Structure 1
Amino acid sequence: MQKFFVLALMGILLFSCKPYENTKIRKNQITYEDFREKQRLYPTDDGLIKYIDEGKSEKVIVLLHGVPTSGWLYRKMIDLLVENGYRVIIPDMLGYGSSDSPEGFELYNAENHAKRLLGLMEFLGVETWSHAMHDAGGLWTWELMRMAPNKIENLIVFNTIMYEDGFYPPVRMKPGGMAKTAMWAYRNGVTTNTLLKNLFKQGLKENTLNSLDVEGYKKPLLEGKTEAMYYFFSQTCNELPDYSDVFENVTVPVTVMWGIHDTMLQWPPQETRAANALKVNPEDIHFIDEKHFIQETKAEEIAYKIIDFLGQTN
């Protein structure tokens, strides 16, 4: 009888809370399988990194994801940027998306993420580039700018991590058994749907995603990509690094595109401090009518804002 109730509970968790609301598939919608077929391979000492590299222009833009997403987050922006004359590079950072997820803890700190990203750009023969980042991708970017301050020519700041003020992650864990059990549940289908449903509920004004959209977020989790998440939720969320010294030395043009209804990364509590630190012009701060995942519902709007911004700086 007990076994029956356990199985019934697992069934409820697995099937009763789909993380998408819309079942209608959009015309010409890309599948995660198609997205993965476009990815290329970069071998590192820590594991294999997959990345998108589209367009042949000398004007390069990197689009960097956060946690627990991957390059899939930017799928709706690629063609528009390429059509407007950009080479678009979108990595799945180690531990996310299609990239490897080796066992380890410090493998996933900001310093190691930054080193691997610099290695990728060297591998691709790209000396300097424009750079957009989202969520924890900001931490990896600040670390990269500390290591190599002359690599990024223009900076596009989506809802990203800068200060404790405004940082309200949906999950904070202590390292150890409970956190590891939570990761096990995420990757074994027990609470995967629950995690994603809550994420999109907090991250979108209205969850209009369909099954193909969610597949690109769900499949990596079910493939076991939780090592990097474990580091982020149990370490980074509890001890946020201080990058004040990096902000002080930012000299490149900066634009901010922020989902103003975001509850996880809020702009108002850090508005003055962040704008002053990045030395961003008021006209280059754009508030987007969305919560956290502006790339999902406002992809065209922010892509054109990027094009306009880079057109003014080049």
Structure 2
Amino acid sequence: MKKISVLVLIGILLFSCKPYQNTEVRKNQITYEGFRADQRLYPTDDGLIKYIDRGKGPAIVLLHGVPTSGWLYRKMIDPLVANGYRVIVPDMLGYGSSDSPEGFEIYNAENHAKRLLQLMEALGEDTWTHVMHDAGGLWTWELMKQAPEKIENLIVLNTIIYEAGFYPPVRMKPGGLAKTAMWGYRNGVTTNTLLKNLFDQGLKENTLNQLDVEGYKTPLLEGKTNAMYYFFSQTCNDLPDYSDVFENIDIPVSVIWGIHDTMLQWPPQQTRAANALKVNSEDIHFIDEKHFLQETKAKEITYKIVNFLTKED
């Protein structure tokens, strides 16, 4: 009887907690298979990094966070290319289509920044416009610490700046329990539960369909949890302080923030963050969405980015 109950519980976890709300496919919807087919690869000393490189013109990097990948920006790539930009969208090591080697400190902010700098050098881009989201902010602050001259325009999308306003959905201690959680995510036991909770909390209305979710779920089922383990068990418990980096920021900055975000909140840090980033009030935009604003507000975000960059030219 006990065995049957366990099987029933597993069945519920596997099949009843779907992370998407509908099965209707949108016209010309991007598939994860198609997205991956367009990715190129760059070999680092730590493993292969996959990335999108499309268009010609001034370079824009679109940097994801945790536990997403470049897939998060899929709806923004073509519109930015159409506006005359070279759009570079990496899957950071441990995420998306990139390798997920064993290791712990290999996934710290310093190493993420180092590999991104190497990628951009290999692509022949000395400076670029930089868009980041979520934990991508930490990797960006570290990049600016290592090479402050590389980013010429900065667009901040619901990213980690200060401890104030940072309310991650998961915090874990390193060890067995956290590793067990990662095992569940990559073996299909709690994968749907993780994604459903993430999107229910991260979107005002979870209207994602099965094709949308495939781009987030597939990497997990392929075993891409080592970088997540580092973030949830280390970074979330010991957030780096990049105040020294903020003091030296001297580039145009725009903030585009989903104002209903519960995981990364702007109000608790708004005065401190705006002053630290030296962002003009007219370049702070609040979007009617929660955390994953790229999913529902891609056109609006793209318009604001292009408008900001055009104004700066």
**Shorter-chain TM-score tier:** over 0.9
Q: Quick check: 1-10 or 265-274, which moved more?
A: 1-10
The residue aligned with 1:311 is 310
Deviation at 1:7, TM superposition (A): 2.0
The residue aligned with 1:39 is 39
Classify the secondary structure of the residue corresponding to 1:154.
strand
Q: Number of residues paired by the alignment?
A: 313
Tell me the TM-score normalized by structure 1. Answer: 0.99
Q: Does 1:17 align with 2:14?
A: no
Classify the secondary structure of the residue corresponding to 1:75.
helix
Classify the secondary structure of the residue corresponding to 2:148.
coil
Runs (4 or more) in structure 1 with deviation over 4 Å come to: none
The residue aligned with 2:27 is 27
Q: Does 1:52 align with 2:35?
A: no
| Aligned positions of 1:144-223 closer than 5 A | 144-223=143-222
The residue aligned with 2:128 is 129
* Per-residue deviation, residues 165-199 of structure 1 (Å, max 9, x unmatched): 00000000000000000000000000000000000
* Per-residue deviation, residues 37-59 of structure 1 (Å, max 9, x unmatched): 000000001000000000022x0
The residue aligned with 1:94 is 93
The residue aligned with 1:228 is 227
Q: Does 1:299 align with 2:298?
A: yes
* Per-residue deviation, residues 85-136 of structure 1 (Å, max 9, x unmatched): 0000000000000000001000000000000000000110110000000000
Deviation at 1:5, TM superposition (A): 2.3
Question: 2:284, 2:3 → 1: CA distance?
Answer: 56
Deviation at 1:10, TM superposition (A): 1.0
The residue aligned with 2:8 is 8
Question: Which residue type is aligned with residue 27 of structure 2?
Answer: K
Question: Which residue type is aligned with residue 77 of structure 2?
Answer: I
The residue aligned with 1:67 is 66
Question: 1:22, 1:313 → 2: CA distance?
Answer: 41
* Per-residue deviation, residues 196-255 of structure 1 (Å, max 9, x unmatched): 000001100000000000000000000000000000000000000000000010000000
Question: Which residue type is aligned with residue 149 of structure 1?
Answer: P
Q: Does 1:77 align with 2:72?
A: no
Classify the secondary structure of the residue corresponding to 1:258.
strand
Question: 2:7, 2:178 → 1: CA distance?
Answer: 23
Tell me the TM-score normalized by structure 2. Answer: 0.99
Question: Which residue type is aligned with residue 64 of structure 1?
Answer: L
Classify the secondary structure of the residue corresponding to 1:220.
helix
Question: 1:250, 1:187 → 2: CA distance?
Answer: 39
Question: 2:22, 2:127 → 1: CA distance?
Answer: 40
* Per-residue deviation, residues 154-173 of structure 1 (Å, max 9, x unmatched): 00000000100000000000
Question: 1:3, 1:145 → 2: CA distance?
Answer: 54
Deviation at 1:24, TM superposition (A): 1.0
Deviation at 1:6, TM superposition (A): 2.1
